[in-house]
Amino acid sequence: MENIQVIQPTKLLAPYIKQYWFLRIDDVKQGFQRSIPAGCVALVFHKGNKIISSFHKGTQPQSYISGQISTYSDIEFSFLDMVIILFQPIGCRIFFPYPMEEFTNQNIGIDLLDNTCLVELEEKINEASDNYQIVRLIEEYLLNRLCENISCNANRMMATIHNINEGEGKYIRFISNGLFRI
């Protein structure tokens, strides 16, 4: 049986989080699926069995940050139960202090990130009873991180992305000491 649910983030997190995806596929002897790039950096928690990926040439981590992926991957599984947090273009950088280009075409296990709060979040997600409880746990974690990490640079990046997305026709020029619109 296949079950997909998409939940939107709260307004406070919407500038950073695109959506929360819940994907569950069970009752399969051996599942094969082609996974195509979502175009976003994602934080993935997988509560199901191990996934084998052709692109990553082996077993994927149970929970991981997935960087920008440039091609499809064929995956093999017997039970899929994923929680996927899709970030807006700069969203992941706000919450995690890593250069995102280092994540390109990779799935980096959260156990390698030296972030005990993220590992604790994984444990809570695995114990949660429904998707809305999981969203509450995720948003509590993200809001705490947001309060710790937001900076004026993030505000500049958000303003730039907003102007690009809105197509206001204004030229944006970066100068060493800040952002100026012409």
Per DSSP bridges, beta strands 80-87 and 42-46 are: antiparallel
Q: Judge contact between 66 and 26, C-beta under 8 A.
A: no
* Paired residues of 44 in beta bridges: 64, 84
| Helix, strand, coil percent content, the chain, rounded in steps of 5 | 30, 30, 35
pLDDT digits (tens, 9 = 90+) for 162-171: 666 676 544 4
Say yes or no to pLDDT of 173 above 50: no
Q: Which of 47-51, 91-95, 104-108, 163-167 has the lowest mean pLDDT?
A: 163-167
What is the spatial distance between Cα 147 and Cα 114, in angstroms, rounded to a whole number?
A: 19
What is the spatial distance between Cα 33 and Cα 69, in angstroms, rounded to a whole number?
A: 16
